[in-house]
């Protein structure tokens, strides 16, 4: 006969029944075992950094947005760069790499298109102004000669 059943039997024969808390404590000790220590449990958090650094190209995208925003490619690249940074902060490395790759491609397209269109604009303005100067000088000679 174990101790709990003895206490219950003696309580049934007219003796003073044991307190509920004592029975509860005895049950917890029987089921859970004796407490090992009274010190509070502590947890340790280990942050493992990934070896792969994912560049988000946000500075390049911002530059293209401000200075080389032909066809809004710089702005779209900036949006993808921000998405890449968000994915990196969440811990989704694959998603961050995908958005960063798209941002890089858009930045390259924006930069090349921006440089080409800027050069074409400079050539057109310079040749146009040369044509205007030539036309004005021709008009001056025609009106001056008559």
Is the pLDDT at 46 greater than 60? The verdict is: yes
Distance (Å, whole) CA 83 – CA 3: 66
If one counts the domains in the chain, the total is 2
> What is the reported pLDDT for 80?
96
Instruction: Print the domain residue range for 119.
Output: 115-145
Chain centroid to Cα 72, Å, comes to 23
Q: Residue 15 falls within a domain, yes or no? A: no
* Mean pLDDT confidence for 34-57: 72
Q: Compute CA distances 68 → 76, 105, 127, whole Å.
A: 12, 14, 23
Which of 39, 63, 85 terminates a domain? The answer is: 85
Using only the alpha carbons of the chain, give its radius of gyration. 41
pLDDT tens figures, 69-100: 878 899 999 999 999 999 999 988 999 999 99
Q: Residue 23 falls within a domain, yes or no? A: no
Q: Which residue has the higher pLDDT, 13 or 129?
A: 129
Determine the angle formed by the axes of helices 58-67 and 73-90, rounding to 10 degrees.
Answer: 160
Q: Residue 42 falls within a domain, yes or no? A: no
Task: Record the tokens describing residue 48, joined without a space.
Answer: 């493992």
Is the pLDDT at 35 greater than 80? The verdict is: no
pTM here? 0.56
């Amino acid at each position: 006969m174990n101790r709990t059943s003895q206490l219950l039997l003696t309580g049934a024969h007219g003796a003073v029944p044991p307190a509920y808390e004592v029975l509860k404590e005895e049950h917890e000790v029987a089921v859970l075992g004796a407490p090992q220590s009274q010190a509070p449990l502590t947890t340790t958090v280990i942050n493992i950094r990934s070896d792969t650094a994912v560049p988000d190209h946000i500075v390049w995208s911002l530059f293209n947005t401000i200075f080389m925003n032909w066809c809004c490619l710089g702005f779209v690249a900036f949006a993808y760069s921000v998405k890449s940074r968000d994915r990196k902060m969440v811990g989704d490395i694959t998603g961050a790499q995908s958005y960063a790759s798209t941002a890089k491609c858009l930045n390259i397209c924006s930069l090349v298109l921006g440089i080409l269109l800027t050069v074409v604009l400079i050539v057109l303005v310079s040749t146009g102004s040369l044509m205007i100067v030539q036309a004005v000088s021709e008009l001056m000679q025609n009106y001056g000669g008559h």
